[in-house]
Amino acid sequence: MGPARVLHVAHHGGMVDHFVDSLAGLSVGGTYGFAVDSAWRKLNSVYHSSGHLIAGLVENLQHGLTAVAGHPWPGEARVEFEGQAEASSFDGLAIELSTRLGELLSKPIEVKVTGDPYSSRAIQIGDFPPIPCGRTHVRALSEISAIRVLSIKRKGNRVRVAYDALPP
């Protein structure tokens, strides 16, 4: 945006806030051009939708776990869960999760935006329940070529699933 690089965008009270790397060259009330880095946006869409898919699958495979947080940034992506799960089952969960992810990515499954964009926006992947979310997503799982489960481990009272994802 103008001479600055946008690092984060968030909705607050009906406004859209852009967090930038520097205020140099920007002034309050100024008008600036901007460009979207389409490759970076696509990569982030792939990671974000992958995190939602992992959340839905883990909740289906481990009924005692509920997704409570996501961190879908390339190179450090993870989904966090709370609830009852035994660490001894993590190896089996990783294998089953990887298998199911591969199966789902091979199917023509839509990723739909539902609700009002400012008050009740949610993302629904196929038949999984909608999850409130305001970030960017792929339109179909076919826009994700692979999701790799890197690790599943307990951190405090949470279970973390770390992952990588790749666009086609």
Question: Is there a single domain that holds both residue 24 and residue 77?
Answer: no
pLDDT in the model for residue 17 = 84
Residue 165 reports pLDDT greater than 90: yes
Residue 25: partners with Cβ closer than 8 Å, 6 or more residues away: 2, 3, 4
Question: Is there a single domain that holds both residue 90 and residue 102?
Answer: yes
Report the predicted TM-score, pTM, of the whole model to 2 decimal places: 0.84
pLDDT in the model for residue 6 = 85
pLDDT in the model for residue 90 = 85
Residue 28 reports pLDDT greater than 80: yes
pLDDT in the model for residue 46 = 97
Q: What is the mean pLDDT of residues 1-9?
A: 85
Q: What is the mean pLDDT of residues 55-77?
A: 93
Q: What is the mean pLDDT of residues 122-140?
A: 92
Percent of the chain at pLDDT exceeding 90: 60
What is the CATH classification number for the domain harbouring 161?
A: 3.30.980.10
How many structural domains are present in the chain? Answer: 2
pLDDT in the model for residue 48 = 95
Question: Is there a single domain that holds both residue 5 and residue 49?
Answer: no
pLDDT in the model for residue 134 = 82
pLDDT in the model for residue 85 = 76
Q: In what order do the strands lie in the sheet with 65-71?
A: 65-71, 78-83, 158-166, 146-155
Q: Which domain holds residue 69?
A: 38-166
pLDDT in the model for residue 87 = 63
Question: Is there a single domain that holds both residue 58 and residue 106?
Answer: yes
Vertex 80 angle, CA 78 and 85, to 5°: 125
State the Cα–Cα distance between residues 18 and 115, nearest whole angstrom.
23
Question: Is there a single domain that holds both residue 28 and residue 78?
Answer: no
Question: Is there a single domain that holds both residue 31 and residue 42?
Answer: no
Question: Is there a single domain that holds both residue 60 and residue 86?
Answer: yes
Question: Is there a single domain that holds both residue 20 and residue 95?
Answer: no
Question: Is there a single domain that holds both residue 21 and residue 102?
Answer: no
Q: pLDDT tens, 92-103? A: 889 999 999 999
Amino acid letter, residue 42:
K
Q: What is the mean pLDDT of residues 113-133?
A: 89
Question: Is there a single domain that holds both residue 44 and residue 31?
Answer: no
Question: Is there a single domain that holds both residue 4 and residue 79?
Answer: no
Question: Is there a single domain that holds both residue 15 and residue 83?
Answer: no
Helix, strand, or coil (residue 59)? helix
